[in-house]
Amino acid sequence: MHERREVERSEENPPRWYWRDGETDTNNETEESSDSEDDSKLSSSGIDTGSESPSARSEVSQKPVSRFSDDFDLIEKLGEGGYGRVYKVKGKLAEVLYAVKVVEYDRYALREVKALASFQHPNIVRYYAAWPELSDLQASTASPASTESTYESEDEEDQSESSGAIMTSNKDKYLYIQMEFCKGGNLKQWICEKNEGNMQSRDDALMIFQQIVQGVEYIHLQGHIHRDLKPENILFGNDNKVKIGDLGLVTVISEEGSNSVKRTKQKGTPSYMSPEQQENLRTYDEKVDIYPLGLICFELLWEMRTGMERSRLLENLRERIFPPEFVRQYSSEHKLIKKMLSKAPDKRPAASAIAQGLRVLMEEHDGLGDLKTV
């Protein structure tokens, strides 16, 4: 039996793994464990594996330990996609709201958690803890999905099957990821309100975009790539700060060449993918995140009232074709967005260069009035 190690997050003590008795980190090194070993682990945790006789099973009365049910009250399901489900919960002791993401336990889930645990930035969703469990929350609850989900996926393609990326040795284990709950909604909702006539100012749009870029810049400086930037994955926290979330596709830049094809085929949102992602190129770098930033910046600034208009404009943008009115009204922003949408990755500016340019603009004009230069 393995030693119990429980570490909680604090400002002074960065988050680390939480493991219960009898559970181990199977981060791809134990993929070839035998069925008998898996049954042994399950049996030792009090779970009926089906290998015991009826009389032996009748003696098992203790339910499996669940940190989730012990520590949280489930409020509602916020949404789900191809990479898991997200729930709104309340802590039983402190009565604080959190978001808990439940995903199948595999090396990609571990990668997301390790990235979250290492990120500490005001524009990235805050991580608190993660732990494995043998039960799937969806199988034991019937909570209806919210119709206005802060995590709801927009594109059908984003809910594609992910079975090709799941490690079979952990098919009955799930990873629970506790994160901050962002009650301010997501950027898709903000854009929809703008398009429906609740006009948002140009300066509001640029200040939001500046925070997004700052978060992306931090991710890149940490040696990671997000790979699935889109309005649904950009949230508004309780402090009204912009928070980049859903790091299910995050990867280390130096590892990209070995796994980009497999991950890209299974995940991501095609309408926001960079050309090199869509083409399934074997190698690419952090510039894949700059391309969707260009599309997001345009959406923040320009009104698109119908889905048909949006689809047409985004398709044109991928060819760097802009509405003439946009070019006249947002001349400096147009120049910046056009660079971000370059088909050649090396022609796109780095996130740090975009952030610096935005800071200079907003300092020169105090965040007010027309911004004429980039």
**What tens digit of pLDDT does each residue of 31-59 get?**
334 334 434 433 333 333 344 444 444 44
What is the tally of helices (H) and strands (E) in the chain? 14, 9
CA separation, residue 80 to residues 61, 87, 159, 165 (Å): 33, 9, 8, 17
Is 101 annotated to bind a ligand? Reply is yes
Range(s) within the chain of domains with CATH label 1.10.510.10: 187-365
- Residue-wise pLDDT for 230-271, tens only, equals 999 999 998 889 999 887 777 777 654 444 434 444 445 788
Contacts for 227 with CB less than 8 Å, ≥ 6 apart: 249, 250, 251, 263, 264, 267, 268, 277, 288, 289
Range(s) within the chain of domains with CATH label 3.30.200.20: 35-180
CA distance 256 to 284: 7
In this structure, the dihedral spanned by the alpha carbons of residues 156, 162, 164 and 167, taken in order and rounded to 10 degrees, is 180
Class of domain 187-365: mainly alpha
Q: Which of 329, 328, 354 is nearest to 341 (CA)?
A: 354
Q: Strand, coil or helix: what is 236?
A: strand
- Which residue is listed with tokens 């993929």? 31
Amino acid in the structure at residue 224: H
Q: What is the pLDDT of residue 268?
A: 59
- Residues of the chain falling short of pLDDT 50: 1-61, 142-169, 256-267, 367-374
Query: How many residues in total does the chain contain?
Result: 374
Q: Which fold has domain 35-180?
A: Phosphorylase Kinase; domain 1 (3.30.200)
Contact 227, 291 (CB under 8 A): no
Q: Which residues are catalytic?
A: 228
